[in-house]
Amino acid sequence: MKRTYFVIGALIIAATFIGTLVLWPQLPDRVPTHWNAHNQVNGWSSKEWTALLMPGIMTVMLLVTAALPWLSPRNFEVETQGGGAYLPIMIAAIAFTAVVHFAVLEAALGHRFEITHVITGGVGLLFAAIGAMLPGVRRNFYVGVRTPWTLADPRVWEATHRFAGKALVIAGLLAVALAFLTATPWSAAVALAAGAMAPIIYSLAYYKQLERRGEV
């Protein structure tokens, strides 16, 4: 199972490099790489930098994914075997990076679409996908809701990740809807921020509840 996920990650990266090479001759020398909330370009980069940045980041992500199990201290190992959520989450992050990369390239080629909506909606889908997998993440220092309270007690970790899974799925799907129903991405960003903050607050509240009971 571990090998399967790394093969999938490598294939996504390889497809991204190949797709970039195919589009390379058509790319302008200056590529739009940043947009404001009104979908207006306000940042540019060279096509060399744009073509290499995201695939390079994806490659680093895959290498870090391979290194984290070795770096994990005893009793806080990142899960790498079948049935775990760590590797699927990392694959989802790599796939999302590829989507952003090709959205930027398509915009550079002159294809007209609301790229801020696409990227915001993509972030929402990533949140929802991660939320669906979060309850399966074991206690570790790298992936998941890593607060002082979740790391201090396994009961807080498990309860927080069950809550976080629901919160991120709801926030992510709401952000997808808002990304395409509103003119600017701010409302979707607020939904995502709320979904990210809620588990942190929950972990503190749950730990303090255990503390009041004298159970920690």
Domain ranges of the chain: 2-212
Q: What count of residues does the chain have?
A: 216
Region 86-101: mean pLDDT is: 94
Query: How much is the pLDDT for 80?
Result: 53
- Cα–chain center distance at 68: 17
Is the per-residue pLDDT at 109 higher than 80?
yes
- The span from the first CA to the last CA of the chain, in angstroms, equals 36
Query: How much is the pLDDT for 191?
Result: 96
Task: Identify the sign of the CA torsion 49, 52, 54, 57.
Answer: negative
Query: How much is the pLDDT for 72?
Result: 85
Task: Identify the sign of the CA torsion 5, 8, 195, 170.
Answer: negative
User: For 175-181, which contacts have Cβ atoms below 8 Å and span 24 or more sequence positions?
Assistant: 175/120, 175/121, 175/123, 175/124, 175/127, 176/121, 176/124, 176/125, 176/128, 179/117, 179/118, 179/120, 179/121, 179/124, 180/117, 180/121
Segment (H or E) for 33: strand 30-35
Query: How much is the pLDDT for 1?
Result: 57
- Residue whose entry in the numeric block shows the structure tokens 């709401």: 174
According to DSSP, the residues that pair with 209 across neighbouring strands are none
Residue 116 confidence class, pLDDT cut points 50, 70, 90: confident
User: Each residue of 179-212: pLDDT tens digit?
Assistant: 989 888 899 999 999 999 999 999 999 999 999 9
Residue 73 is given by DSSP the state P
Query: How much is the pLDDT for 74?
Result: 80
User: For 184-188, which contacts have Cβ atoms below 8 Å and span 24 or more sequence positions?
Assistant: 184/37, 184/38, 184/116, 185/37, 185/116, 185/117, 185/120, 186/37, 188/120, 188/121, 188/123, 188/124
Residue 82 confidence class, pLDDT cut points 50, 70, 90: very low
Task: Say if CB 114 and CB 35 are below 8 A apart.
Answer: no
Q: How many CA atoms lie within 13 A of 56 on its CB side?
A: 6
